[in-house]
Amino acid sequence: MSIFLVGLALFIGMHSIYILLPGARDAAIARIGYNPWRGVYSLVSLAGLVLTIYGYGLARQDPVLLFEPPSWARGFSFVLMAVALPLLIASFFPVPTRIGRFVRHPMLMSVTLWSLAHALAIGTLAGVLLSAVFFVWALAARFSLIARPMTASAAATPEPMNDWIAVAIGLAVWAALMFVVHDWLIGMPLL
């Protein structure tokens, strides 16, 4: 469990710098430069992600059950993920989507829905902890971003076709996860 916690702290810690210490990023960029900052940020985040995944895999070998998920949780989680994945895809378009304009921060909403879906459906200590940490982080990041002014790209006119593309790709990823990828990647079949 310690590897899992260290990885989670590194990954979420790096992604929380702008929330907790807004000036630290700018100070680091001024001191070492933009690309070196991106390199450090990426390497620490990647190390945290790898340790989180590896540590979670270890924690799954000897799970601590906190609760038995309710019978409806699995189906409800599938529905939440069918919404979360198109939101995630919509966040990657350089020109904002109407989805992004409506939700304002589609990636953070996607992470919020993902964490809620997994917290309901898993029930183990590691699963609930992973979900809870990402849920709290996504809410904190969302509130942090709401206070900031809109960027020029966010103020651009949405391209309606991007919404359809985001939904199509998001639902295709959802279907792939449901039928093949989740079992292959995570070792947990969904159907």
pLDDT of residue 149: 65
User: What value does the mean pLDDT of the chain take?
Assistant: 89
pLDDT of residue 131: 95
pLDDT of residue 101: 80
pLDDT of residue 129: 95
For residue 80, pLDDT over 70 is answered with: yes
Find, among 107, 114, 70, the residue nearest to 90 by Cα: 107
Structure tokens at 16: 């929380």
Distance CA 5, CA 99 (A): 34
Structure tokens at 110: 């996607």
pTM of the model: 0.85
Locus of tokens 């990657």: 92
Structure tokens at 48: 């945290």
Residue 46 makes CB contacts below 8 A (sequence gap 6+) with none
Of the listed ranges 46-55, 76-85, 155-164, the least confidently predicted one is 155-164
Residue 152 makes CB contacts below 8 A (sequence gap 6+) with none
What is the per-residue pLDDT across 138-154, written as a single tens digit (0 to 9) for each? Answer: 999 988 887 766 655 55
Distance CA 38, CA 17 (A): 13
Neighbour count for residue 113 (Cβ, 10 Å): 22
Q: Between 103 and 16, whose confidence is greater?
A: 16
For residue 169, pLDDT over 60 is answered with: yes
> Between 34-61 and 125-146, two packed helices, what is the crossing angle to 10 degrees?
150
Rg of the chain over Cα atoms, rounded to whole angstroms, equals 18
What is the per-residue pLDDT across 15-38, written as a single tens digit (0 to 9) for each? Answer: 999 888 878 888 988 999 999 999
pLDDT of residue 171: 96
CA angle 119, 144, 89 (to 5 degrees): 60
Cβ(103)–Cβ(164) below 8 Å = no
pLDDT of residue 185: 78
Q: Between 85 and 18, whose confidence is greater?
A: 85
